[in-house]
Structure 1
Amino acid sequence: MPPPAIPEPAHAEVDSMLSRKFGKEIANYFAGSPLNRVSFLRTDNVFLSAALKHPSTSFLLFNNLAPLAKDSTQLEYVNFEDVRPLIGDDPYSKSEEQMIEEYNSTVTISQLLFLGLDEDKRSGFEWKSIYHGSPYFALDVTPKGSVSSAAEKLIETVKSRSLQFVEGRMHMSLPAPQAAIYAQARALLDWNARNPFCAGCGQPTLSINAGMKRTCPPKDMASVTEQSSIGSTTDAKPAKDRPDCVTRKGISNLCFPRTDPTVIMAVISADGERVLLGRQKRWPPHWYSTLAGFVEPAESVEEAVRREVWEESGVKLGRVVIHSTQPWPYPANLMIGAVGQCVPGGEEIILKHDPELEDAKWVNMAEVKEALEVGTSGLGEDPEPGYKEGGLRLPPRTAIANQLLTAVTGGFLEGAVTAPRI
């Protein structure tokens, strides 16, 4: 099976001062989504209601964060009639203000996300004669609470169509546009699932903004529901006021999905002839990659690159430049790809600072280039044809580490544009 294509650079056909100086923009796997997110419409429940029920609308289902697919190379979508038994006739029939006012912490709601509009598909859906395209949503069908029965029925229905929920991280074989849609949906579903309670007061939160924000409602209708369940019609209680919460004051009332910046870097020797590679103990034999680590608070990207390289390998870097970035939905990272060059005399490898790596070594450019041709693969996968046992193994093209190594062995250091990727 051939590896999936990498997303095309944005506006690759447009000539500009920037493209002439720096080359075409680099697009990495999990980026390059075909969807216009129209983020400013996420609070418009009338728009969301119309998009939800349009005949061209696609729903991507997830069960415990595993997406619905034909196989590991093709996602599969369902329509509104398929999901109606789980989400009801119109979950967007009320404004966000009404939803917050009527919030009931005892009611289980399957997480629904609006992902965007595919403008390349002129399917008849339009909004205010300005925004066009087929709407895309994602839905968490994991059985839980009062929706367990409906969720289980939906799962059985789609499985009867010879479809499956693909487990694990085997989603780097998807076509690039589908991988980007999957990455967006997975990251948002994971964030919602991890934040059911308010960090300020510990009370349950409500998902709004079509899945892009969580809020801490000031009242809870659960007390009214409890009173009604007793059967009393004369002593009905008003909705219970919840404790004061810092998230409802001033501009602190925002809780949006997090993205954790992570640096990943190709490190070049002072003479420009070698590349620093490292490996973790759990990796297959001969498998190496570029170094990486999290950006810390009050730290620039360049500083994070230099710090992480020194902590993990003892190598000291001078100049650092940004190459490209890659979304990484496991669970919510933005990989910031960089190239850094070692200062003269700073190439000694010392692994005792932060014992994260099992090994680190300098590899000459020719060996890296050969490994990029025949020694790449995902973890647990076989290398490409032509690989000789004992040779260097590297991450696949879908990993930004591969793109960084391709760049430094293909002319990036001389300011040349690398050869087109196929």
Structure 2
Amino acid sequence: MPPLPQPELPEPAYPSVDSMLARKFGKEVANYFSGSPLNRVSFLRPDHQFLSQALTHPSTLFLLFQNLNPLTSSPTDLVKVKYADLKPLLPSDPYAKSEAEVIKDYNSTTYIPQLVFLGLDERKDGVAYKQLYKGQPYFALDVTPKGNLKEKAEELIKGFEAKGWSFPEGRMHLSLPAEEAAIYAEARHMLDWNARNPFCAQCGQPTLSINGGFKRTCPPTDTADLPSSATSTSTATPRERASCATRSGISNLSFPRTDPTVIMAVLSACGTRILLGRQNRWPKYWYSTLAGFLEPAESVEEAVRREVWEESGIVVGRVVIHSTQPWPYPANLMIGAIGQAVPAAVAAETSVNRARKTGSTTEAGATQEGASRGEDLQKIDLGNDPELEDAKWFTFEEVKEALRVGTSGLGEEASAEYKEGDLRLPPKTAIANQLLDGVVNGFATGTFGKL
């Protein structure tokens, strides 16, 4: 398929303000899916009066999702609807009661569409709460047909489809404008987390969404067996649920998960080449930076060194953090780093010591190609972790040309200038692209060619 338009990246915070950090390290890099215009006002999420006012305000906008796919009118436009459009699914105000009352009235048999308060756009007129917190409220709502509201959700979706709107399937939505992409990322992340945690991890009983969709709790009682007329103010007694450790102490709630992941551009010891790898499911000639999950009791720097060695056999020395990127598929925080391989002789000594401990006979060394060019390039070894189909050392010139004409999303064509057989790279909406751009434009040397 032809490449989709690549949106501009978000502006970093206060880009025009001079600071000693910017002079020393260059300007901040803001990656796609970050840079949300919303003030999350997280301290107001337990305030049901605020949430109720924000939910029903005439200015409030809702992003809708079906099976985690957003409602769109085009690849570059999210559809935003009003509260009145959602009356079939939200016949009453879900925030009319306090959290304590909602927990007390919990009914495990009633399906409630997942609703998440995303924040306030303070640039727009909207709700004014206590004259301190003002702006246009944003919510996300899961309209996937389920439970006792299945037919109403299906009817609502048919109405949207009649307008030409749709819920396009796909893991990536990388053509949205930067601000909308950031709001989408928050919404998808939170809806996905809620959908994955319908039961308590400690006792296995159903959980309840509270705190504007940002927490889940394990209620102590269940009104499912009570007459339909029973409420929190009646004399009827709800059923006591089995005991659960999450209802006492400091671990009384389930919080949204975020999975830290390292992704790194690796320079050769001589500083002339960049290590890239590819998986067999990727298009021909398409390479990217290496990446992997951060493990418990491991620093970011250690994770970078471990992942690079496991996947490519390359021993990395100094590691610095470049930038980070939220990645809502489903809950990653990509921690972008730039590392530099140690000289081949040092790597060989390291590998010999490791071999004595593990019984391996593999030793690292310099490549013949590198030696012929006067470059210090460690040999690549894919034999540890078979995750990669291939890995190579690429020159700065090859990477620069690929950044200019060879970027695209997976399944998309490169630009018309791209020559078959040359290197291809991820689009600029991916942090891998920004890491490579940073390396070839001075981040590693401190020259900062783009400043």
1:366 alignment partner, SS class: helix
State the Cα deviation string for residues 187-237 of structure 1 (Å, max 9, x = none). 100000000000000000000001000000000111224999xxxxxxx96
Maintained 8 Å contact 2:222/2:240: yes
Taking only aligned residues, the RMSD between alpha carbons, in angstroms, comes to 1.4
CA shift for structure 1 position 326: 0.3
For the pair 1:251 / 2:282, whether they are aligned, the reply is no
Alpha-carbon distance in structure 2 between the residues aligned to 1:237 and 1:410: 70
CA shift for structure 1 position 57: 0.4
* Structure 1 stretches of 4+ moved >3 Å: 225-228
CA shift for structure 1 position 154: 1.3
Alpha-carbon distance in structure 1 between the residues aligned to 2:137 and 2:449: 36
State the Cα deviation string for residues 358-390 of structure 1 (Å, max 9, x = none). 001101111111111011101000001210000
Alpha-carbon distance in structure 1 between the residues aligned to 2:394 and 2:162: 51
Partner of 1:415 in structure 2?
Answer: 446
TM-score of the superposition, structure 2-length normalised? 0.89
Partner of 1:60 in structure 2?
Answer: 63
Identity rate of aligned residues, in percent?
66
- Decide which of 187, 204, 208 is 1:206's aligned counterpart: 208
Partner of 1:390 in structure 2?
Answer: 421
For the pair 1:108 / 2:108, whether they are aligned, the reply is no
CA shift for structure 1 position 25: 1.0
Distance 1:221 1:340, change over 3 A: same
State the Cα deviation string for residues 67-93 of structure 1 (Å, max 9, x = none). 011111110100000012201231100
1:377 alignment partner, SS class: coil
Unaligned runs of 5+ in 1: 229-235
Partner of 2:137 in structure 1?
Answer: 135
State the Cα deviation string for residues 318-355 of structure 1 (Å, max 9, x = none). 00000000000000000000000000113221111110
For the pair 1:80 / 2:83, whether they are aligned, the reply is yes
CA shift for structure 1 position 100: 0.4
2:180 alignment partner, SS class: helix
Partner of 2:368 in structure 1?
Answer: none
Partner of 2:374 in structure 1?
Answer: none
State the Cα deviation string for residues 247-271 of structure 1 (Å, max 9, x = none). 1120011211000000000000001
Alpha-carbon distance in structure 2 between the residues aligned to 1:167 and 1:349: 38
Question: Which residues in structure 2 correspond to 1:11-410 (within 5 Å)?
Answer: 11-121=14-124, 123-225=125-227, 238-345=237-344, 346=347, 347-410=378-441
Alpha-carbon distance in structure 1 between the residues aligned to 2:409 and 2:75: 14
- Matched to 2:168, the amino acid is V
Maintained 8 Å contact 1:203/1:216: yes
1:413 alignment partner, SS class: coil
Distance 1:286 1:201, change over 3 A: same
Maintained 8 Å contact 1:292/1:308: yes
2:319 alignment partner, SS class: strand
Alpha-carbon distance in structure 1 between the residues aligned to 2:98 and 2:407: 50
Alpha-carbon distance in structure 2 between the residues aligned to 1:306 and 1:164: 43
Unaligned runs of 5+ in 2: 348-377
CA shift for structure 1 position 152: 1.1
Maintained 8 Å contact 2:269/2:342: yes
Alpha-carbon distance in structure 2 between the residues aligned to 1:222 and 1:37: 34
Partner of 1:231 in structure 2?
Answer: none
Maintained 8 Å contact 1:71/1:166: no
Maintained 8 Å contact 1:276/1:360: yes
1:250 alignment partner, SS class: coil
Partner of 2:367 in structure 1?
Answer: none
Maintained 8 Å contact 2:126/2:137: no
Instruction: Count residues with an aligned counterpart.
Output: 412
Maintained 8 Å contact 1:312/1:355: yes
Alpha-carbon distance in structure 2 between the residues aligned to 1:45 and 1:292: 41
- Decide which of 1, 4, 8 is 1:5's aligned counterpart: 8
